[in-house]
Structure 1
Amino acid sequence: MKKMLIHRSLSLLIPAMFFVQLTTKAQNDGLSLKSKDNLNKIELSFAKDGSLSYEVTRRDKKILLNSPLGLTFTNNDFTSGLSVVKVSPVEEKVEKYELKVANNKIANHVFKSKSITFKNGQGALMTIDLIAGEEGVAFRYRFAEKENQTRVLKNESTGFHIDQNAKGWLQPYNKAGDYTPGYEDFYINVKPGDPINGARGESVGWCMPALFNVNDAKSWVLIAESATDGSFPGCHLQPDSKGGIYNIAFAKKDEKFTLPLPDKEAYPESNLPWTMPWRVIMIGDKAGDILLSTMITDLAPASKIEDTSWIVSGKAAWSWWSHPEDFTPEMYNKFTDVSASFGFRYTLFDAGWEKANKEGKIIDYALAKGVQPLVWGYSAEYFDADKRKKRFKELADMGVKGVKIDFWCSDRQEVMGTLQSVFEDAAKQHLLVNLHGTTVPRGWHRTWPNFVTAEAILGTESYFYEPRFPEMAAEQNTVLPFTRNVAGPSDYTPFALTFRKYTRLNTGTHELAMAMIYTSGIIHFADSEEVFNSLPNELKNLLKEMPATWDKTECIIAEPGKAVVLSRKKDNLSYIVGINGTNKVNPVSIDLKKYGKGYSKFRIISEGKDPLMDFKVETHPITSKWQYNLAPKGGFIIEFIK
């Protein structure tokens, strides 16, 4: 009898166990998505407690290891006890659009997409949208139902699990202070799990975008976010990356600077429906694939400006870098004359311009010269909606073409929302926008094409403020094209020849090449009238012809921290430009016939007798096996000649 009871119990238990296994398997079915080319894949999975994680692979090789997902609200938890409610069919979508500021004018990518809806133990629903394309994968959290009650998000568990054999280039996220956070620190070469060392100030995390060389150095990955709007703060990564897991962190309560922000916790909050930003994982076989990726703008909303014909990229002279204490009308007019003589479309009037305009009508002077004025402004003056709209109209009526708005120093949700309103209200007055002392772009230059450039970069002003900058600048300049400039247009303010407080070590040609390495809708050239006028005629002509955006870019050499060489084309202009990030001679070999089709000769600008100040210009016939030694911290520019 006892044996019969045992047998019967086992016969009941075995099917029950089988049912549990089937259920677990069923929960994990359909939770993956592959790109159309079948190379990139994101796959979600459940743990025993109903918590979610994901992995990312390329060619079935691990790019991101098992990484956590989940959200914790004040009254709702989506970190465990989850189950699948619905899996949508896979859809294919094409993102084809034109960018006003870009490495490549036309973006055209095919994505596979899928949405998976989960239910937590309280019966509340959460959807995760998945995207997979040839340049990487992405996901976001979304709450589709309507709910009038405000939800407060206390924590996002999302992490990015990097293999500990990988190497990365990460920028510290500086603690709130007088001018921080502003994304103006060095990118540091780290291994996953390393603590923050060498930052310019006290730091509370790591910035995005974050670059890693993974898969035994065979693949590159850039972690970023896209489509952040007024319903979410800008995010960074937690400082503690034990085990190689970098978790999402929100903006901090004290990121207020002088903005009129309430003294409260800075948790994300919104009514439902609520669509959160994309978590973007760009993947490439080469670092150059990352440099050229448009995935951040692919995932951003399409342009909200119907007629963009008035948005024109260009170059600008700018007096502050060479004359930081001179705010006289005569000085502003002198730099307007520089713009006029070099055919620059714009001139930038920095802080102090309003008094000079009252005294000397510097705006009228610029307009009479055929130069369009851009003017500086303080962020707090643009925070109130009514004051902002009134100010934009006043500036437009004066003949101003664009605004440089400075000192945001915050990633809080209120600031993200204000920036969207700044772009929108400026567009209504046909004004261009340049942000300084600010967060990194997050696909906004697609949605608002009048947003043409932003700082959020350790640029040439650091020769005034950072003693380590001269030694580290060349290396940094070969990292930023794969990190900061992938996020969006970068106002580096290049071409700084005059020695400032901390003496430059990069060659003059390296500094000149910087104007063509970074992408910025307006190139604000540093330095003085005297320096511009002292240049050889070939360099003057280069500055006159140099575009501020490109039709086509190819990566020839892409070695973050070591060297960058790009092929750049715009209309009938064609260049190759390169910089050396090291203090050693760097030999390069390039097939010029490949990049110079239709041209008979090339002109090369390189270092002269004094590499720091002098230039050498030579003309040669095009060859298929061109060899060149990049000078230590040096550069070159090749112009193809018909």
Structure 2
Amino acid sequence: MHKQKSNDTKHIFGYLRCVPKYTYQVPVLLFLSFLCINAQTWTAFSPDSSLRIEAKQDIISAIASGQKNCYFRVLLGENAVVDWSPVGVKTSDQDFVTDLTFVKQSQTTIDETYPLPSGKRSSYRNNCTELVLTFSNKNDRQVAFYFRAYNEAAAVRSELMGSGSTQVSGEVTGFTFASGSTGWGHKPNDDEATFDQFSAGNSASSYGIPILFKTSNAWALVTEAAVYGDYTGCHFASKSASKNVYQIAYPSGQGAISGSLPWKLPWRVAIVGNSLGPIIESSVVENLNPPCELTDLSWIKSGRSMWSWLSQNTGDMAQQKRYVDYASQMGWELNLIDDGFNRSGVAEVCQYGSQKSVGNELWYNYTEVNTQSKHNSVSQQCRSWGLKSLKIDFIYGGDGINYNNNIMKWYDMSAKSLADNKLMVTYHGCTVPRGQRRRWPNIMTMEGVMGYEWIGRGYPSLSHNCMLPFTRNVIGPMDHTPVLLTLGQLTNGSGSTRTSTDAHEVALSVVYESGIQHFADRPEGYSGCIGNNFLKTVPSAWDDIRYIDGYPGQTCILARRKGNDWYIAGISAVAAKTMTIPLSFLKAGSYTVDIYKDTTGSSKYTMTKTTATINPSTPLSLWVNTNGGFCFKIPDSYQVPVSIRSKERNTIKNFANMNHRNHSLFVSDGVGNGLSLKRTGNVFTIQGKSLPKGETISRLPSGVFINVDKKNR
């Protein structure tokens, strides 16, 4: 990790942070460190200065009448996306909320990269400004509040200082949204539910994570990150006196939590953007987690998996071998042996799979692995059988809660036990992810979603499918078990005929991200599908993501990249219409592609493969049926990042008041070729890449990068 530290409290204009180890996009060069406005107000700017967090001590009667507490807010430009929000924590014997005395401040720039074997991208960049404000209470006990300003997110956490031990009884930290803002959420401890729309501030209410908000001028998704066995998972709740303030709340029955000092509590996160793109593309939940515990990741392999349980139950040895055969035929990496299989035959299925280059996964009930000794025994046995991964299901305690302190302790133990035996895992019947795959990358996916197991048991309308990319899948991998093509009745209940088109289903293989993608249909369902060849090549781990268009619950169009190939897919839950897909992010050239789409004017299920020639300068228009979709692969279309270079160095010259949106950044290659770039709204070209008028430099076209030598700051 590269860090730069400063305790300066003056305005710092035109400060250009340049680290030679990295190649930066232009907006990353526009950096402003935090500044202290007065003794009790502080500000932290994101690396590109587009986002800022302001913190202060004040009396806000609408939140805590008559109490001088600590607050923060989050702004994009001059617009407050998150209004003044409380921060603080209480222990069994100390109050770190009211009448605190400011002690000191510090500031750190965090800029690091790390790889993961699955996820939205293969290389993650954790780049933010971290402001730490330390306070003491009336008993001279200290607390530190951490604020991290990312280009697309704000995060806050508390650290209890000192030594010894204590018990945390609760937090007041939360997020305030303007009353009347639109929200989408679900009840706590009910992650297998729909995200229902509500009006912020309308009533006192509680919601599980994540919650999506649409304010008058922006979007925000709130969640938590870095929750492990020293704490509890939480949800958000508003009170009758402050209905639009969504504060951290413990799960039902969770008492005070014991821990050792110093003690850093989990991160509370708001991912924000003027559009939905920064939210969908964000990896901040992983970035806020601790670094990987493992040194060898070579055995962790993302994959696509055959799964018989939903369409035909688990069956016997012959059926599992048939599913292994089909996985091999499709080039898929895994087969999941689910509940009901006689485990005396597991080793035989694994040996058979190895001959076909197909690994196997095996289902376990949480009660079989809910202690350290039981888990270690199972992990060792599964390794000896030759399994690659486990699926652990029904992860909750006797009280039915799936995210309290005891369950979080179990996740720590489970991930380590599995990693010690080089086993990957799917957690099912569980809570949602909180970024743990950075620390334990063998966690390939988690359910925590109303997926296709609910077909026949009350699966909702297709608006649910179009809501998940903007909510649940933002915060981590999602074991939805998509791409279900069989139209008849399924084994898990009556009334199970789907309402999506074939093209919608195949598109889900791109739209939904999961480190192991469990395909829910039987071999006959895929072999008879026009999209069979597409499903043979679609990856389960990606190098990059790009949001194209959509609206929660209505439509979603995404692009994901693997190597030099872009995959573009869209799904719809609205009436038939023509969708337009801009392609300006592609490398210059002409591409002939196979497009899998709804058959124009046909019955609701039919899919057609058409061949089209596309190019970056011409948007593509496709007719999409009701509840329809489309997908296609564009080979060798990735624009590799280019740099403005000279033989010796690049020259970056900044103007006074760099943070002002009307001022410019001058870029020169050192040999007379220079460009003056406006912060927003300018039309310019770098190496032939054009930025349309009205876009900000934080959304530069792919490939616009500048190498900067640290000595030229």
What letter is aligned with 2:71? S
Higher alpha-carbon deviation: 271-280 or 95-104: 95-104
Match of 1:329 in 2: 317
Match of 1:282 in 2: 271
| Aligned counterpart for 1:586 among listed residues 574, 577, 585 | 577
| Aligned counterpart for 2:261 among listed residues 250, 265, 272 | 272
What letter is aligned with 2:377? K
Q: What is the CA–CA distance in structure 1 between the aligned matches of 2:376 and 2:343, rounded to whole Å? A: 22
Identity over the aligned pairs, expressed in percent? 28
Match of 1:350 in 2: 338
Alpha carbons 1:605, 1:618 under 8 Å: kept: yes
Paired residues for 1:77-116 under 5 Å: 77-88=95-106, 90-116=107-133
With over 3 angstroms needed to count, the CA separation of the structure-2 counterparts of 1:321 and 1:598, relative to structure 1, is farther
Please state how far the C-alpha of 1:47 moved relative to its aligned partner: 2.6
Paired residues for 1:5-404 under 5 Å: 27-29=39-41, 31-48=42-59, 49-88=67-106, 90-147=107-164, 149=165, 151-173=166-188, 181-194=189-202, 205-214=206-215, 216=216, 218-238=217-237, 240=239, 242-253=242-253, 265-324=254-313, 326-355=314-343, 357=345, 361-404=348-391
With over 3 angstroms needed to count, the CA separation of the structure-2 counterparts of 1:244 and 1:275, relative to structure 1, is same
With over 3 angstroms needed to count, the CA separation of the structure-2 counterparts of 1:68 and 1:593, relative to structure 1, is closer
Match of 2:418 in 1: 426
Q: What is the CA–CA distance in structure 2 between the aligned matches of 1:280 and 1:554, rounded to whole Å? A: 21
Alpha carbons 1:109, 1:134 under 8 Å: kept: no
Equivalent pairs, count: 579
Q: What is the CA–CA distance in structure 1 between the aligned matches of 2:519 and 2:444, rounded to whole Å? A: 15
Structure 1 runs of 4+ off > 6 angstroms? none
| Aligned counterpart for 1:489 among listed residues 455, 458, 477 | 477
Paired residues for 1:556-595 under 5 Å: 556-582=548-574, 584-592=575-583, 594-595=585-586
Alpha carbons 1:83, 1:120 under 8 Å: kept: yes
Query: Which stretches in structure 1 are left out of the alignment for 5+ residues?
Result: 1-23, 174-180, 197-203, 254-264
Q: What is the CA–CA distance in structure 1 between the aligned matches of 2:602 and 2:614, rounded to whole Å? A: 27
What letter is aligned with 2:386? G
Deviations 1:228-275 (A, max 9, x none): 11111111012647531111111222xxxxxxxxxxx43332121211
Alpha carbons 1:193, 1:240 under 8 Å: kept: no
Alpha carbons 2:548, 2:582 under 8 Å: kept: no
Please state how far the C-alpha of 1:615 moved relative to its aligned partner: 1.9
What letter is aligned with 2:536? K
Deviations 1:466-524 (A, max 9, x none): 1xx34x2x212222112111111111100112244333111121111111101111110
Question: SS state of the match for residue 530, structure 1?
Answer: helix
Question: SS state of the match for residue 464, structure 2?
Answer: helix
Q: What is the CA–CA distance in structure 1 between the aligned matches of 2:228 and 2:583, rounded to whole Å? A: 44
Normalised by the length of structure 1, the TM-score is 0.86
Q: What is the CA–CA distance in structure 2 between the aligned matches of 1:356 and 1:239, rounded to whole Å? A: 51
Alpha carbons 1:327, 1:356 under 8 Å: kept: no
Alpha carbons 1:489, 1:520 under 8 Å: kept: yes
Q: What is the CA–CA distance in structure 1 between the aligned matches of 2:594 and 2:631, rounded to whole Å? A: 8
Paired residues for 1:548-627 under 5 Å: 548-582=540-574, 584-592=575-583, 594-595=585-586, 597-598=588-589, 600-608=591-599, 611-623=603-615, 624-627=618-621
Q: What is the CA–CA distance in structure 1 between the aligned matches of 2:633 and 2:588, rounded to whole Å? A: 13
What letter is aligned with 1:246? Y
What letter is aligned with 1:155? G
Higher alpha-carbon deviation: 612-621 or 514-523: 612-621
What letter is aligned with 2:591? S
Question: SS state of the match for residue 517, structure 2?
Answer: strand
What letter is aligned with 1:41? R
Query: Which stretches in structure 2 are left out of the alignment for 5+ residues?
Result: 1-35, 60-66, 397-401, 637-713
Q: What is the CA–CA distance in structure 1 between the aligned matches of 2:590 and 2:373, rounded to whole Å? A: 54
Q: What is the CA–CA distance in structure 1 between the aligned matches of 2:585 and 2:276, rounded to whole Å? A: 21
Please state how far the C-alpha of 1:594 moved relative to its aligned partner: 4.6
Deviations 1:571-606 (A, max 9, x none): 243321101122x12322224465364553111111
What letter is aligned with 1:208? I
Higher alpha-carbon deviation: 570-579 or 343-352: 570-579
Please state how far the C-alpha of 1:525 moved relative to its aligned partner: 0.3
Please state how far the C-alpha of 1:182 moved relative to its aligned partner: 4.8
What letter is aligned with 1:73? T
With over 3 angstroms needed to count, the CA separation of the structure-2 counterparts of 1:329 and 1:185, relative to structure 1, is same
Question: SS state of the match for residue 461, structure 1?
Answer: helix
Question: SS state of the match for residue 376, structure 1?
Answer: strand
Alpha carbons 1:101, 1:519 under 8 Å: kept: no
Alpha carbons 2:131, 2:147 under 8 Å: kept: yes
Match of 2:654 in 1: none
Q: What is the CA–CA distance in structure 1 between the aligned matches of 2:264 and 2:567, rounded to whole Å? A: 42
Q: What is the CA–CA distance in structure 2 between the aligned matches of 1:597 and 1:321, rounded to whole Å? A: 44
Alpha carbons 2:500, 2:605 under 8 Å: kept: no
Deviations 1:439-476 (A, max 9, x none): 1111111111111111011111111211xx34x2x212
With over 3 angstroms needed to count, the CA separation of the structure-2 counterparts of 1:596 and 1:172, relative to structure 1, is farther
Alpha carbons 2:501, 2:607 under 8 Å: kept: no
What letter is aligned with 2:595? I
Alpha carbons 2:590, 2:613 under 8 Å: kept: no
Normalised by the length of structure 2, the TM-score is 0.78
With over 3 angstroms needed to count, the CA separation of the structure-2 counterparts of 1:330 and 1:51, relative to structure 1, is same
Q: What is the CA–CA distance in structure 1 between the aligned matches of 2:613 and 2:149, rounded to whole Å? A: 45
Question: SS state of the match for residue 352, structure 2?
Answer: helix
Alpha carbons 1:599, 1:641 under 8 Å: kept: no
Q: What is the CA–CA distance in structure 2 between the aligned matches of 1:426 and 1:597, rounded to whole Å? A: 45
What letter is aligned with 2:125? N
Match of 1:639 in 2: 633
Match of 2:642 in 1: none
Deviations 1:363-382 (A, max 9, x none): 33222322101011111222
Match of 2:452 in 1: 460
What letter is aligned with 2:596? I
Deviations 1:47-67 (A, max 9, x none): 354322222211121111121
Question: SS state of the match for residue 364, structure 1?
Answer: helix
Paired residues for 1:509-524 under 5 Å: 509-524=503-518
Alpha carbons 1:349, 1:373 under 8 Å: kept: yes
Higher alpha-carbon deviation: 344-353 or 48-57: 48-57
With over 3 angstroms needed to count, the CA separation of the structure-2 counterparts of 1:52 and 1:605, relative to structure 1, is same
Q: What is the CA–CA distance in structure 1 between the aligned matches of 2:611 and 2:635, rounded to whole Å? A: 9
Q: Name the structure with the higher helix share.
A: 1
Alpha carbons 2:190, 2:208 under 8 Å: kept: no
Match of 2:519 in 1: 525
